[in-house]
Structure 1
Amino acid sequence: MTPTISPPLLVRLFARQLGCHWTRLTVDSDGLHVCLADAPAQLIPWSDLAVDPRLHTGTLFHRLAMPDAEAEDGAPGPAMPMLGWIGRWHRHFWRAFGQQLHQQHTPDFAQQLQRIEANVRRAYVRSSTWSQLQAQAAAVLSRSEAGLLHAPARPNIHYQRLKRIASGDACLLQRYREHYLDTQQARHSALFERIERLPLTSSQQRACMTLDDGNLVLAGAGSGKTSTLIGRAAYLIASGQAQPQDILLLAFGRQAASEMQQRLQQRLGIALDATTFHALGQRIMSAVEGRRPRISPLAQDDARLGRWMSQQLEALLETPEYRRQLLDYMVLFAHPSDTPFDFASAEEHQRFLHASAVRSLADEPVHSTAACMIADWLWSQDIDYRYQPAGIYAVPEGAGGHTAPVPDFYLPAQDICIDLVLLDENEATPAYLEPVAYRQQLDALRHTARAKSQRRIELFHYQQADGSLIDTLARQLAKQGVAPQPKPDPSRLERLQARGLLQPFCELLTQLLRVSRSVPHDTDQLQARIDTRHESQRLEQGLALLQPLQARYRAQLQADGEIDFDDMIARALEYVEQGRFASPWQHILVDECQDISLLRARLIRALRNTVPGAALFAVGDDWQSIYRFAGSDVGLTTGFADFFGPASITALDQTFRFNSSIGALASRFVLKNPAQLPKQLRSGAEVDAPAVSMLKHHSRAPAADPAVLERVLQAVCQRSGDQHSSVLIMARNRFSLPDSARLAQLQQRFGQVQLDACTLHAAKGREADFAIILGLESGKYGFPADRSVHPLLDALLPGGETFPHAEERRLFYVALTRARHRVYLLYNGNRPSCFITELLTDPQYLLERNEFEPLNAAAH
């Protein structure tokens, strides 16, 4: 049926006044037939309507601007007026109108789709290319849809495909990419079989061929990341997409760069220059400045830098203002600010104080760091005090056998007691105190002081963290008429040196100097970071002490005409961003991307962005990001696309190192942090039984205890049989490991196995048949460490993470995945690590709990 419509009756009655020029519109296969009130009827062919349809939509009525008609001889016909007052409700008319227009564009749809898909088949569809194809498809569709109110009733297949492209259909994009990868995988199968001794896995091959603007390969522990990097370079060259000089292969260390370079040359005959970030910075600077930059010996020798910092600190201490600032800082902040509220037991708190060497400047042990701060301030102000003296508070009558309370400090010259109250801002006590009993004791102490008219000052541990502890004490003493008389600076400095407190602080300042160079902040940015942290006073004063040393370091480099490595990266970045260095690289390949700092990431991004069509290929594992203390930022990997732009992410799904039982436990453990990128790692060694054994002990020194470490090594030898196996002993802290003499003793006794020992950070990149992990206990120096970096250092490092022990959790994952066959976790039953508690209480972790059951039973 041919759709024909007329204007509504009311419009027809007032057609002249309303400007309605038409009386009837009819759609047929020839075109749109227009009957006009004051002119002959006209036929507008669909071919004319399809060229430039101009439909103006309204709420109830639409207007159609028509092309001018032509006479039979080709001469211009009478002008066609705007057709208004076309009812929106004429659905059959509009559907037929749209279908006819749609058919006119069918050849164009086919042609444009063929052009687009030719590009798709030619190469991997990059994110940038996909955006361009979307725009092309949308432009085609916009021309055809300009006169449509509704989608065509019977759209052809070309139109449908263009519609999906224009909408950015992710499934269609993936189909295009998969088709290309399948084709390339078949074409280059011989190459992938000879890159390594064994053929690359399917996921490794597809990672090598994925060629987006940004490419992130998540390479889990033991999944062959180096093979994938080499395979990428080989594929680019073999497929004709690059020449060796077009490729920049970046590694973190010279050894890794040299290894990849040799493997490419020896196995594939490819001469490719693999380099480090430092060498890259040097190359860029040399190209721009025309000479090789001179690297300061201070940047290349840690011991030399340490000596230089000590000399500069000594020189600054000759300046009264700087000396006073440092002395005040050391009195208030020489020790950590941990309080009794940070510990599960009084014994644990005391172990922390002992391990941290928390003693006053008078060289007396104290019961908390807040007490140490008070003692040191009183000493520095030349106020005589007694620490926790007995007999100051008398026992009130009727107290029975109760022991007299003891003040924390007593000032004999002024007869003033000072007490540190164990209540927080919410009036709660530490976890190990019974709240009611403690408040009764506190009430009794207050009552005793009032009954005796004893002058007394109450302070609280939380005042140490908010910076008000000493200010409050000074005000209270002033009210009591006590006027401090500070000791002379030389006397205070001599005491600090005698107590050995200056050298550790100088080492901290050296570490701060390095980090401040690799992770630069502007003044406002740094102040904002300080303002959001606890202990802002500690941070501000500590960084104020660092600033003169930073200035001297910069002046030293300038005077010597030298730079350090961070200068080199920063200046190279500046040259690239300013266009002074023309990058020759079309492909940038980066190893260990989870360890890069913001400065290095900016350099990579700048090099990629300055070359049209350049691609970034980064290999790493956010699960193994454990170097924040050195400036690495895991957020650059977990938020890869946010920093580098749209990217394809590929996960290597097979590990060649550990068995499936270790892999399942380690993966489940690290993914407890939802910020880690999920991936599945398959193992070639499938096992059903647990491969992580637990040994509970009660030893204070398990590395030296024959009942602990030697018992585990006996179990390892039994499992090894006649085979010679390797064993890696690891711990969070070096002091938890067996020393060289002990290790030699164990090696002599257990000659069947090859022993080695290292810290968890040093274990990155290593592997062994068996792994033993020590030091799995709670506390500041346990694992996880209660505080892995100094608060001053934390303020300068990349933004921290909100998930508890996020980096320490990744460090444990690294430790677990060093072993091929079995991991032994040795933990203290009196104060187990929270990681151990998690493993033991979650039934989904597959553990071997009974391998040492006889020993555990005997221990009880």
Structure 2
Amino acid sequence: MKRGRPQGASVRLIVTITAPLPRLFAHRLECHWTTLTAGPDGLLVGFRDAPSELIPWQDLAGASHVHTGAVFHRLAFDGKPMLRWVGRWHRHFWGAFSQYLHQQHEPDFALQLQRIEAAVRQGYVRSSTWAKLQAQAAELLQHSDAALVQAPALPDLRYQRLGRIASGDLQLLQRYREHYLDRQQARHHTLFEKIERLPLTPSQQRACITLDDSNLVLAGAGSGKTSTLIGRAAYLIASGQAEPPDILLLAFGRQAANEMQQRLQQRLGIKLDATTFHALGQRVITAVEGRRPRISSLAEDDAKLGGWVARQFEVQLGAPEYLHLVSDYLLRFRLPAGSPFDFATENEHQRFLRTSGVRTLSEFADDSAGGAGEEMRSGAACVIADWLWSQGIDYRYRPAGIYSVGSVRVSEGNDSAENSVRPMLLAPDFYLPAQDICIDLVLFDQDEDTPAWIDPAAYQQALDALRHADAANGHHRIELRFHQQRDGSLIDDLARQFSLQGVVTQAKSDQQLLATLQESGQLQPLGDLLTQMLRCCRTLQPDAAELRDRIEASAEPQRLEMALGLLEPLHAAYRAQLAASDEIDFDDMISKALEYVEQGRFVSPWQHILVDEFQDISPLRARLIRALRDAVPGAALFAVGDDWQSIYRFTGSDVGLTTDFSGFFGPASISALDQTFRFNSSIGELASRFVLRNPAQLPKQLHSQTQVEAPAVSLLAHRSREPAKDPGVLERVLEAISQRLAAAGAASCTVMIMARNRFSLPDKVRLVQLQQRFDPLQLECRTLHAAKGCEADYAIILGLESGKYGFPAERSLDPILDALLPGGETYPHAEERRLFYVALTRARHRVYLAYNSARPSCFVTELIADEYPIEQQEFEPTR
């Protein structure tokens, strides 16, 4: 093994080479030298027609350049002729040449490394600092290496260290940082011991000390995020890196802000203002404009905003153009585009249709056509029926008995009928007697595939037979596809084919359609949707180009474009209302504050920005934070959140700002709190494994303080339609909890009853009855969203069934709202999966999952099928 020479040792080699060209060609080819000798004193050059010349190494170190070639190299010196035709095969000469020049640069290496390591010792090495040090080291090495043909054979340790810095060696960077963290942990040991009732964990302490330009702390459920935020503020002040006025502590709610402010004051005697984003926006605007902005009551009261939109909507309906747009939109898109292709079994599809209430509009019209009020077997069929009725065309829906009967292999989604062969009526979806036209919704998609639950070959045979029967009976035939309801072309294609076949229609007036739409209750849901769209657009604040991009990327582009057309005059009226009353809403406040910060009109006093619940951040708020950080040289962002608990996309939050934190805020230090103080190891193992099935979630280890061996999640199967009212569900679980309480010798415990939807929870009367019967149990009910941030000894989760109102919800957001909100995800039920994680992690000791065994939630079937650590034998099977 070769050893490097000790630092400070000198090279003593002497190597001489001769010119490779004969004297005859030397002058012609500009080879003026005869010998080159690399020795301790310098480079001795022997010339053909002049005395030899010694060039000291110290002169060559900063003035020589080597131009390499495939066979020969050239040496260039400031103020001297270039030495050409120096063969690259003279390895010993070039080795000595490089070693002597390297030795001349060693003092610079030592000085530069000393400066760099002095900078490193001053604090945590930030990403921006590391980039500057990297550039400095690279510049020095590039300057020195310009004179070298090959790396020095005996480089000193300082040269090697500079090389690692210049290359951005992350291991070296981490070593510098770890050294600083260790020193600071030891220095501020007493502080970290007293911040909370219990000392901060090592991971909490290191998170408090880490001081990059941008810092993200991933705080799992129950891992002490608030303690870490308080610890960060206390550490910055105790270490002399900040004074209280230098720190901006941001929370999403006034209650959370007050809690942190009080804990800092009471435990540490630190007076530090904690504020909300809205209060921050108000402060920025007040500082710039000299007066406090007035907040519109429409921004503070959802019901008031909904009422205002409803009144404006009614006013707009008085305009013929707007009324026509509304009528056209509702005829096309009043129903969810639930195609048979969206479901794994026919039973699932039929259950979706039953819960969606797919019935024709003609039920509510005085002059209804035949088939009035029929229940349709698909949303697309209902759209066709409504349009035919609106055009005054009589139709028969799925006319029976006019053709022969065939059979199709169908998967019904249960063991007894899996892939069963059963009759299928060979009849068109619609028959128009006056026109002798058959209209059929063909069960093929764009790729000529059938739904998953229909055998394609058998269906093709049935379809061919139907086409043959139509032709044999002389019927005209129109074929449409289910995907046309989603892309908006269904009615247009039908109208086009009617025109080709010369069908004359007698369209109802928009006023007639309006009367039917009002009678059928279709206007209120549209008004509610427009209210939600208004909120989304206020939160997102997209420009025209972004809206166009969102329309093109939407699953239902025509529906979104038409809905935005309906929203436009309402949005304009809203903006005019704010301007007339000299008011703003909360989204305006954030947007205007951002504008003032980016323009430099607001001078930020904050060197450190601390943000709570970062996973709930919206893009607009994130831009404001970034602008405040960038406005102050050396300012740092410290964000605490948990991407596993991001469940508020419907309010505008974007989980991608957490999962791709560095992508938005630049190079960052990301750490995780690895210990939870709430739930036991069994709950933690199950919940972590479950949420990490989505590969987009950031992986982290969360260790529980309480270790248990047995499963701590129990399943209770039932077949009740209303488990919250069924004594065979809640009472059984509460009795089991009471028995566990008695066995533990405890006097009381807390129990949180949760569900995805409020109507799935016990009402107040029922809760009082349960409380009276199970007095030692302190019961409370919360929706899953409202349960975030809460905890109890035991948790019961209701509503675990499939379906529109089950959990996970089949569609938690309308596709229009989904297209207008940030942070769309491709993983199935991504946010609902995180919501289930939140629910599981509310309990300290045990979670009870009450699920409907007739139509179980896919989350429960996953727990069972994939053998998660669950208890299935705690309860006797229900009858």
TM-score, length-scaled by structure 2: 0.92
CA contact 1:11–1:18 (8 Å) conserved in 2: no
CA distance in 1, matches of 2:128, 2:339: 54
2:534 counterpart (500, 504, 513) = 513
Q: Offset at 1:850?
A: 1.7
Q: Which runs of structure 2 are paired with 1:412-423 in the superposition (5 Å)? A: 412-414=433-435, 416-423=437-444
The answer to which of 45-54 and 414-423 deviates more is 414-423
The answer to which of 436-445 and 277-286 deviates more is 436-445
CA distance in 1, matches of 2:458, 2:31: 94
1:582 counterpart (569, 579, 603) = 603
1:739 counterpart (747, 751, 763) = 763
Is 1:469–2:480 an aligned residue pair?
no
2:376 counterpart (366, 371, 376) = 366
CA distance in 2, matches of 1:389, 1:41: 112
Cα distance 1:20–1:255, how it changes in 2: closer, same or farther (>3 A)? same
Cα distance 1:452–1:258, how it changes in 2: closer, same or farther (>3 A)? same
CA distance in 2, matches of 1:437, 1:93: 83
Q: Which runs of structure 2 are paired with 1:763-782 in the superposition (5 Å)? A: 763-782=787-806
Q: Which amino acid aligns with 1:762?
A: A
Matched residue SS, 2:786: coil
Is 1:113–2:123 an aligned residue pair?
no
CA distance in 1, matches of 2:295, 2:561: 31
Q: Which amino acid aligns with 1:64?
A: L
CA distance in 2, matches of 1:560, 1:112: 63
Is 1:699–2:720 an aligned residue pair?
yes
CA contact 1:783–1:833 (8 Å) conserved in 2: yes
CA distance in 1, matches of 2:599, 2:141: 40
| Other-structure match for 2:70 | 59
Q: Offset at 1:128?
A: 0.5
CA distance in 1, matches of 2:315, 2:18: 97
Q: Deviations over 1:335-379 (max 9, x none)?
A: 101023323444433332332233221332322211221222122
Unaligned regions of 5+ residues in structure 2, if any? 1-11, 364-372, 407-421
1:503 counterpart (524, 534, 539) = 524
Cα distance 1:717–1:53, how it changes in 2: closer, same or farther (>3 A)? same
Q: Deviations over 1:445-489 (max 9, x none)?
A: 545544444555443323322323222332344455432222222
Matched residue SS, 1:18: coil
| Other-structure match for 2:34 | 23
Q: Which amino acid aligns with 1:747?
A: Q
Q: Offset at 1:58?
A: 2.4
Q: Offset at 1:438?
A: 5.0
CA distance in 2, matches of 1:405, 1:161: 81
CA contact 1:660–1:685 (8 Å) conserved in 2: yes
Q: Which amino acid aligns with 1:581?
A: F
Cα distance 1:87–1:840, how it changes in 2: closer, same or farther (>3 A)? same
| Other-structure match for 1:823 | 847
CA contact 1:763–1:815 (8 Å) conserved in 2: yes
Matched residue SS, 1:761: helix
Cα distance 1:143–1:449, how it changes in 2: closer, same or farther (>3 A)? closer
CA contact 1:11–1:20 (8 Å) conserved in 2: no
CA contact 2:18–2:36 (8 Å) conserved in 1: no
Q: Which runs of structure 2 are paired with 1:44-123 in the superposition (5 Å)? A: 44-66=55-77, 80-123=80-123
Cα distance 1:611–1:394, how it changes in 2: closer, same or farther (>3 A)? closer
Unaligned regions of 5+ residues in structure 1, if any? 68-78
| Other-structure match for 1:660 | 681
CA contact 1:3–1:92 (8 Å) conserved in 2: no
Is 1:553–2:563 an aligned residue pair?
no
Q: Offset at 1:242?
A: 0.5
CA distance in 2, matches of 1:315, 1:59: 82
| Other-structure match for 2:785 | 761
| Other-structure match for 2:219 | 219
Matched residue SS, 2:18: coil
Q: Deviations over 1:403-453 (max 9, x none)?
A: 976654444544544443444444544444455665555555545544444
The answer to which of 381-390 and 701-710 deviates more is 381-390
CA distance in 2, matches of 1:612, 1:246: 13
Matched residue SS, 2:21: helix
Cα distance 1:333–1:28, how it changes in 2: closer, same or farther (>3 A)? same
Q: Offset at 1:719?
A: 1.6
CA contact 1:2–1:26 (8 Å) conserved in 2: no
Q: Which runs of structure 2 are paired with 1:697-736 in the superposition (5 Å)? A: 697-721=718-742, 722-723=745-746, 724-736=748-760
| Other-structure match for 1:320 | 320
CA contact 2:251–2:611 (8 Å) conserved in 1: yes
CA contact 1:622–1:677 (8 Å) conserved in 2: yes
Q: Deviations over 1:164-215 (max 9, x none)?
A: 1111111111010001011011111111111111111000000000000010
CA distance in 2, matches of 1:841, 1:528: 40
| Other-structure match for 2:160 | 160
Q: Deviations over 1:122-143 (max 9, x none)?
A: 1100001011111222233233
Cα distance 1:840–1:359, how it changes in 2: closer, same or farther (>3 A)? same
| Other-structure match for 1:380 | 390
CA contact 1:543–1:792 (8 Å) conserved in 2: no
Q: Deviations over 1:564-603 (max 9, x none)?
A: 1111111111111111111111111111111111111111
CA distance in 2, matches of 1:720, 1:680: 30
CA distance in 1, matches of 2:297, 2:226: 32
Is 1:10–2:21 an aligned residue pair?
yes
Q: Which amino acid aligns with 1:798?
A: P
CA distance in 2, matches of 1:18, 1:671: 70
CA contact 2:594–2:627 (8 Å) conserved in 1: yes
Cα distance 1:2–1:654, how it changes in 2: closer, same or farther (>3 A)? closer
CA contact 2:16–2:38 (8 Å) conserved in 1: no
CA distance in 2, matches of 1:273, 1:310: 40
C-alpha root-mean-square deviation of aligned residues, in Å? 2.3
CA distance in 1, matches of 2:400, 2:104: 104
CA distance in 2, matches of 1:11, 1:633: 75
CA distance in 1, matches of 2:781, 2:404: 57
| Other-structure match for 1:526 | 547
Cα distance 1:404–1:594, how it changes in 2: closer, same or farther (>3 A)? closer
Cα distance 1:29–1:458, how it changes in 2: closer, same or farther (>3 A)? closer
Q: Which runs of structure 2 are paired with 1:557-636 in the superposition (5 Å)? A: 557-636=578-657
CA contact 1:395–1:403 (8 Å) conserved in 2: no
| Other-structure match for 1:201 | 201
The answer to which of 482-491 and 572-581 deviates more is 482-491
CA contact 2:66–2:147 (8 Å) conserved in 1: yes
CA distance in 1, matches of 2:461, 2:84: 91
| Other-structure match for 2:416 | none
Cα distance 1:423–1:110, how it changes in 2: closer, same or farther (>3 A)? closer
| Other-structure match for 2:419 | none
CA distance in 2, matches of 1:727, 1:12: 101
Cα distance 1:424–1:157, how it changes in 2: closer, same or farther (>3 A)? closer
CA distance in 2, matches of 1:338, 1:564: 36
Q: Which amino acid aligns with 1:737?
A: L
How many residues align? The count is 840
What fraction of aligned residue pairs are identical, expressed as a percent? 69
CA distance in 2, matches of 1:339, 1:548: 32
Matched residue SS, 2:338: coil
CA distance in 2, matches of 1:821, 1:604: 38
Q: Which amino acid aligns with 1:360?
A: T
CA distance in 1, matches of 2:551, 2:424: 45
